[in-house]
Chain A
Amino acid sequence: MKEKTDSILLSHGSGGSLMHELVRDVFIKHFDNAILGLENDAAVFKASNSNIAFTTDSFVVDPVFFPGGDIGKLAICGTINDLVAVGAKPYCLSAGFILEEGFPLKELERIVANMATIAKLAGVFIAAGDTKVVEKGKCDKIFINTSGIGVFPEANVPLFSKKTIKPGDQIIINGFLGDHGMAVIAARNELEHAISFQSDCAPLNLLLGELLKVDLGIKFMRDPTRGGLATTLCEICEGLDIGIKIFEDKVPVRASVQGLCDLLGFDPLYVANEGKMLIVAKKGSEQNLLSKLRKNPLGRNAAIIGEVISENKGLVTLQTSIGGTRIVNMLSGEQLPRIC
């Protein structure tokens, strides 16, 4: 007899535990099928003879423009990264726009042009689209939905599965955490001139595309967007017979991001990223993987931040910077609403 809310709250959109409950209790309950039930970043299934990946995401960021990107760049990168997370090569996308009456055409064009540039850079094309306009006040400026299809060019590379994760496996992240979320928060509070970092928003096939073609020991990946690294780690652990231990002083966070987080009461472990991939790698393969990641600008600050352990099953633990140990839980409630 859980005490339920009877209407949608902002916290339902924040990527944390309330959102997981909503997805499970409403969407999966009614749409249920074997593929959706896996709750992966993208669905992987066979179409005729080959595997394809399919995903969709909606973007409602406020403000629409922020240091390092805008809602359009986010929409393209976010969908590409969901495809990359399951090991697929992004192939094509769709883009649906919901526009609020009165939104400046110039800004729309700027957003669309940025989308085209980033799609070209990432080697995908926009294959379908849709536009709806709603009355003023019925949506906030512009909402974008993107869906994407990815393919698996190397037929014999194994598909990722949480179930292959074993104690000893290493946890790798490709760079600094929290840049995106805090850049958006800075822009929202008109502090963008006071910060020295930008959103990390980037299409990660440019970093991982080549690595996915060969078996380098990657077992599982997920991009830590809303809910941040902490929530993503908890999702990975959930229901498995393993625990994950991370080391606070190995987790890369820029001093300036940490400073802004401290000032505003956020925890960088829960702040959204848009150009990060969390990689679970087979023990022994981590140094090779790390050196390959670090050769690419999108992975220059990659780090091994933790390992899979056999104790504390289903839990994420953190060794703090002062040597203490504590639990890391999923984001509960609303830390950063509407940032991706």
Chain B
Amino acid sequence: MNWLEGYRSRELCEALAMEICRLATRPMRFMEVCGGHTRAIRKFGIPSLLPETISLLSGPGCPVCVTGRAFIDQAISLSSQEDTEVCTFGDLIRVNGNHGSLEKARAEGKQIRIVLSSLDAVEHAKRNPEKKIVFLGIGFETTAPGTAAAILKASRDGIGNFSVLSAHKLMPPAMEGIISEGIPIDGYICPGHVSTITGTRMYQPIVENFKIGCVISGFEPLDLMHSILMLIRQVLNDKPKVEIQYARAVKPMGNPEAQRMMYEVFETADEWWRGLGFLKNSGLKPKHKYYEFDARKVFDIPTFKETDPKGCICGEILKGLKTPHQCKLFARTCTPVNPVGACMVSTEGACQTWFNYEGKN
């Protein structure tokens, strides 16, 4: 574990904090668009090391948080169909739809199974040919290639009882969506894992069209402090660009094989984001060629309305307009065990992260 300790060195973090304090003489607002970053920032107490001039905002980077309520309703309705079992990543089961959560549906006896990967779901389908297995495809460019791989495997092995209910999303449209709404941000701390797949190219339009710098960051405290410093320097020099801080994992070209797989199976579609609404070409749905693995084609799924729970300000939080403490329900009616909004569900959601690491007031 020694290599990890290096990225958690107190001396180096303190040195970076000093340099940040020296340079950050005017207010700057940076947004992290990855739930993993949100969590690490709060878990290591990074804001307590920064000068007051630097604000860190949590963006729409937690896949669970941005999943709409109607998607949960659809998943529950699928789990109620005869011989059908829904497979999902664990985080999602506590998100409330309009009609309860998958966790509550499971307690009522609906067939819902937690899997660690999309390929586990395919294996499960193979072992249980009498059941129809539906995998809930959520997440960004990081998880979409995995779902694509599962569909390719099912197709290759002729597994006819496997399908995907896709709510996969693409990061850049959301990042552009936020700036287009005029929300003031001086730089993006870009998602490390997403970028290992996509590389740097997808951030270029943000730099060119909106003049906002992008630094792809790792997840250790030293990575994040370093990325903040890189963004500060970009702002002070008035030279926004795409930089890779997380060079030990991210290559400029990303992972071409994963990209190829993703676009072999999926095509872009308009997609609903909690808090941001419908964003053009921001989602992924299976191509017609793979229609037999698209749960929306295989099953007759009722449509549900997209609504926001009363009083929940997740949308404004995901856009960096408000902090969780500004929500009246925070830590009162909305807690991690009884999440009202999606931001409180995942350990990477802004509200849960604040609840866990920033206290209740």
Contact = CB atoms under 8 A, between A and B. Distances in A.
Interface of A: 1-5, 7-9, 11, 16-18, 21, 249, 255, 258-259, 262, 265, 315, 318-327, 329, 332-333
Given A9-B103, A324-B49, A329 B10 contact: no
A327 B221 contact: no
B8 A3 contact: no
Interface of B: 1, 4, 8-10, 13-14, 42-49, 94, 103-104, 107-108, 221-222, 333-338, 340, 347, 352, 355-359
Contact of A16 (B4, B14, B334, B337): B337
A260 B360 CA distance: 30
A7 B101 CA distance: 13
B333 A1 contact: yes
Given A320-B43, A322-B221, A2 B356 contact: no
A321 B8 contact: yes
Nearest to A267: B43
A2 B333 CA distance: 5
B45 A326 contact: yes
A322 B44 contact: yes
A333 B346 CA distance: 11
B337 A333 contact: yes
A327 B95 CA distance: 24
A11 B221 contact: no
Given A7-B107, A321-B8, A322-B10, A329 B356 contact: yes
A326 B338 contact: no
B357 A5 contact: no
A315 B10 contact: no
Contacts of B334: 3
A265 B90 CA distance: 12
Contacts of B4: 262
A46 B288 CA distance: 76
Contact of B337 (A18, A322, A325): A18
A327 B356 contact: yes
Nearest to B2: A255
A316 to B, nearest CB: 10
A333 B10 contact: no
Contact of A258 (B1, B42, B355): B1
A325 B45 CA distance: 5
B45 A324 contact: yes
Contacts of A318: 45
Nearest to A327: B359
A329 B355 contact: yes
B357 A2 contact: no
Contacts of B49: 322-324
Contacts of A255: 1
A322 B8 contact: yes
Nearest to A21: B337
B337 A17 contact: yes
A149 B176 CA distance: 65
